[in-house]
Chain A
Amino acid sequence: MEKKSLFLLIFTLVFILSNYAEGQKEEVWPDPEKSITVVVPYSAGGGTDLIFRPLVEEMKKFTEANIIVSNISGAGSSKGTNEVLNLPADGYTLLASGTHTVSATLQGLTDGYKELEGIAGLNWDPFIVAVLKEKPWQNMQDLVSAAKKNPGTISLGNAGMGGATGVASVGMNLAFGGVFNVTPFNGGKDLRVNVLGGHCDVGIFSQSEILANQDKLKPLVILYNERSRLKDLNGVPTLKEAGFENLDVPGGSFRSISVKKGTPEHIKDKLIEIVRQAYNSQTYQNFMKENGLILAYYEGKELDEYFKKIEQAYITIMREAGLLR
């Protein structure tokens, strides 16, 4: 056992030290001896994790270096973001960024996108507002008029105030004059279980969540300006089609890949190339199609501009929710 534990000890130490190895300035990037880490600031098995894992599998095909996913969840998405900002800007650490990065930054939990630079924008996962089938509301009009009749009695759940569903729920509530009882839950799974159990009236979900519980949930409206690409959800009307024009609810989560500010241009270019090839691969395109993701591809500076747009849409809502700091 002594030998065994000693061996284990050495093995683990080597493993950890290898993580530290940063190396000197290299001529060639990426060094095939090193690994590129994609930090996903949410736990393994979550919605964000799911978007990035297949992409990483594809990215591996276009570079000699190994690429791994590291889930660093906590404090919204700011814990993982802060970790990336703490590491050197050498292109070996990428962040799975997106709408969550904007909201975490606005909440003052991280320097977030102000200290990040875009590699590539990937896709939008549009949100769908749904209720339990047994609930009396048949469509969005029903729901809104019921809420307006008795303000505060109908609960509208989100997966956490700081995240994208939180922003969508506050935005929606704002658009309808604050008639809903907006309640945050502990992540998407917690929200879903509470809506399915009838404890929370209305929920804001991603498409795959609705599909998992197709038999029990009644989708009312998709918070996007187009209908879903998915056959099963194609019948769900947009806000406009449901009779609510001129309402602007930022309803969805956008996902992208960023690096720390100051990463050398030639490394960024290579990264952009790797992501572009992976993104355009048949496998990933199919994955996005099967999951009803809306393509939103931006490269480098375009992504930085796009982030500013998202910030504009978020800032009023965050202020309203009392989350702006």
Chain B
Amino acid sequence: MAPLIEGFTQIFNTQTILLVAMGEVLGIILGSLPGLTATMGIALMLPISFKLSQAAGMALLLGVYCGAVSGASIPAILLGIPGNPNAIATVYDGLAMTQKGLAGQALGGAVIASFLGGIGSLILLMTFSPLIARFTLLFGPAERACLALVGLTIIASVSSRNLSRGILMGAFGLTLSLLGTDPFSSSLRIPFPRLFAKTPLSSGINLIPALIGLFGISQALLDLERIKEGMIAPKQVKMERFFPSLGKIVRMWRIILESIGIGTMIGAIPGTGASIAVFLSYERAKKVTRRSKKLNQLGSGCLEGVVAPEVANNAVTGGALIPALSLGIPGDSSTAVLLSALLIKGVVPGYQLFSQNLYLVYAIFFALFLSNVFMLTFQYFGVKWFPRVLSVPIAVLVPVILVLSMIGSYAIQGRAILAATFDMGVALILGVIGYFLKKGDYPIAPIVLGIILGGMFEENFRRAVKLAEGNYLVFFTKPISLAFIVLSLISVVLPLLRQRRRGA
């Protein structure tokens, strides 16, 4: 009982509460700017946390973490540009809702969803942490390679109408993910290796500038065209009812619970991350809504399509803390920085944390709860103001987006001027490519999936085979990986069969 009370008093004092609130605001601002990620926000606050007590420092960082994850949905919904990878899957239905004039509702729904996801995963973290940590250890290279395979089958569902175009784009993304140094031998896999060996190209294409280019810059270029055609009237936004009714949320119970589950589990598996969780939960929600009569179909601009990924990405926060606290192995890059705040203070997460500093574990739980409450509070007021961005004339908005996109891709590299300049180039080139692809009605999301999952699949596939001493059948001998293979086969074959039956 004593550690519980100690943890409580460490968090619920004026100073720490203010710190969490401050972190939250900062996180939301950073998250909503394209290119600035939760990890970066936490790293920025790290030196400040050194000067605080362990619990207060963690609380501040957790505030930034939660804020940045939820803030990313704001530009995703309003402008179709995800603030960071957490909001990639929110773009579809979020933007479609905005185009219908429902921006306020989409934002409100996203806020409620983020809160539910955060609290849901916190409950899982508090209750099933040891169990989930043990489960994540079952994920070796073979299992992770097959999980990536499941992720790749989502290409089929985000390809809208044309599957072959989707696969083509997925392959393009995979190709981009192969650029850089070989994960096993460090040999270069880039064009003209002699020339580019010592340039940033040797570390490959980063996800963030690719996202900024494919979503942000390409959209801005399309909008420029609209200005030329004279379509410059700002979109109308209905400034009413921001938050979904309780009944509507209750009707989505299955989507919400499944997304909490997916987010927490994916978050808990090290080496995966929110960007995979949001796609998986979107995919699941699509299947759920297809069978339901009461829910709207995803993709058409409905609240369900915003809620699913937004629940999932905030559920990742609690999930990523599971292996971080119990094993000392962070679930994602943000929690890695969180942990370093503890390590520098001489607290080793994992075994020692529970045996010697149990109060800190409770303090972290309380801080995470507080962060979620603040997130809800600040976003509640914010939601009424954010849609006003849309009343800015497009002729002003587009250049601002373009500049912010370039700044975002530059800033993500911190002080690395070479790499930052390179990333601006990547964003620009992929922006132009994305513009032509969008004009030609090629889907963009499969490229992103390819970039995210390509590296994960390749590395783990090779590692699994190496660990199995060259046996390629290893994927069929492990129950989890076999299950994933079957799952991905079903999700590819079933829609094809259904299509054929309908056609016949």
B39 CB within 8 Å of chain A: yes
In the complex, chain B residues whose CB is within 8 Å of the CB of A107: 186
Contact, CB under 8 Å: B388 / A1: yes
Interchain nearest-CB distance for A196 vs B (Å): 5
Interchain nearest-CB distance for B83 vs A (Å): 13
Contact, CB under 8 Å: A109 / B330: no
B138 CB within 8 Å of chain A: yes
In the complex, chain B residues whose CB is within 8 Å of the CB of A19: 415, 417
Interchain nearest-CB distance for B45 vs A (Å): 11
Known interface pairs A74-B203, A75-B180, A189-B329. Does A45 touch B198 (Cβ–Cβ under 8 Å)? no
- For window 12-41 of B, CB contacts with A under 8 Å fall at 33, 39
In the complex, chain B residues whose CB is within 8 Å of the CB of A6: 400
CB-nearest residue of chain B relative to A191? Answer: B329
B101 CB within 8 Å of chain A: no
In the bound complex, CA of A69 to CA of B352 (Å)? 28
Contact, CB under 8 Å: B339 / A87: no
Contact, CB under 8 Å: A16 / B411: yes
In the bound complex, CA of A12 to CA of B185 (Å)? 39
Contact, CB under 8 Å: A70 / B415: yes
Surface stretch bound by B, among A118-126, A206-214, A238-246, A300-308 = A206-214
A186 CB within 8 Å of chain B: yes
- Contact mask for chain B residues 442-475; partner A; CB cutoff 8 A; 1 contact, 0 none: 0000000000000000010001001101000000
In the bound complex, CA of A8 to CA of B47 (Å)? 23
- A57, A71, A152, A214: most-surrounded residue (chain B CB, <10 A): A71
B344 CB within 8 Å of chain A: yes
Q: How many contacts A-B (CB < 8 Å)?
A: 198
CB-nearest residue of chain B relative to A6? Answer: B400
Contact, CB under 8 Å: B198 / A111: yes
B338 CB within 8 Å of chain A: yes
Residue of B42, B329, B344, B389 touching A193 (CB-CB under 8 A): B329
- For window 99-128 of A, CB contacts with B under 8 Å fall at 107-111
Contact, CB under 8 Å: A70 / B416: yes
In the bound complex, CA of A210 to CA of B388 (Å)? 53
Contact, CB under 8 Å: A16 / B410: yes
Interchain nearest-CB distance for A318 vs B (Å): 10
Contact, CB under 8 Å: B340 / A181: no
Contact, CB under 8 Å: A83 / B352: no
Contact, CB under 8 Å: B340 / A49: yes
Closest 5 CB pairs of A and B: A199-B140, A212-B328, A74-B203, A212-B350, A45-B336
What would 15 more interface pairs be, CB under 8 Å, given A75-B203, A194-B141?
A2-B392, A2-B396, A71-B43, A78-B203, A108-B197, A155-B467, A183-B466, A189-B330, A192-B327, A192-B329, A193-B136, A196-B327, A211-B350, A212-B352, A214-B351
List 29 A-B pairs, Cβ < 8 Å.
A5-B404, A9-B403, A39-B416, A44-B340, A45-B339, A53-B50, A68-B47, A72-B415, A72-B419, A79-B202, A79-B203, A82-B199, A161-B185, A181-B466, A181-B467, A184-B183, A189-B270, A189-B329, A190-B270, A190-B271, A192-B329, A193-B139, A193-B327, A208-B348, A211-B348, A212-B329, A212-B352, A213-B327, A213-B351
